[in-house]
A = this chain, B = another copy of it.
Amino acid sequence: MHILRKHIEEIISLTDDEFDFILSHFEQVKKRKHQYILQEGEVANKEYWIIRGCLKSYFFDEKGKEHIVQFGMENWWITDYESFVKQTSSKIYIDCIEDSQLLYITYENREKLTAEMHKMERFWAKKSKYGRIALQNRILSLLKNSSKERYELLLEQHPTLFQRVPKKLIAAYLGVSRETLSRLNS
């Protein structure tokens, strides 16, 4: 079974024809480590699904400090959702932390596919709900947890991230300094 089909069928069931129709809306692309898939100021016209690899979305504050919005690994979706949904200029960058193999769907194809196919509207609606829950939990964690607790929570939820992502990026995700992270990590 195609790995994208396996991923979608975790939420909705599909016939062979339905999956072929869905897949015809996607394109495949390979990117090398450090290559961008989105830069600040561009309109995010694609949503990516990660077959293999690791990515980060991030921005710089006025002082030039990097903040990580999201990481992405196998089976995760990644884009700048504000830019993608509203078709406005992106405030963030997305690039590859590792060589990556990706499937993407354009904004137009996604609109077309969800309008034509209730099942895919339902699939992405569910994905969006889960994304919202994850973000809400990150907010609760930023409000109530100490750096140490946030670090331990991330380690618990995504242990493989710590093997694949440089420490300074973990720090930029947690909103702590590299030095604080070293202490937490020891």
What sequence of 0s and 1s flags, for each residue 55-74 of chain A, a beta carbon within 8 Å of any chain B beta carbon? Answer: 00001011001010100000
Copies in the complex: 2
Q: List residues 113-137 of chain A with CB under 8 A from any CB of chain B.
A: 114-115, 118, 121-122, 124-125, 128-133, 135-137
B67, A129: Cβ atoms under 8 Å?
Answer: no
Main secondary structure of the interface of A (DSSP, over half): helix
A178 to B68, CA, bound (A): 29
Residues B140 and A139 in contact, CB atoms below 8 Å apart: no
Kindly list chain B residues whose C-beta atoms are within 8 Å of the C-beta of A124. Answer: 125
CB pair B130 A85 closer than 8 Å? yes
Residues of B near A137 (CB, < 8 A) are 82
Across the interface, which residues of B come within 8 angstroms of A81, CB to CB? 129, 132-133, 136
A-to-B contact residues, CB < 8 Å? 59, 61-62, 65, 67, 69, 81-82, 85-86, 91, 114-115, 118, 121-122, 124-125, 128-133, 135-140, 142-144, 175
Closest 5 CB pairs of A and B: A125-B125, A135-B135, A61-B144, A118-B118, A128-B128
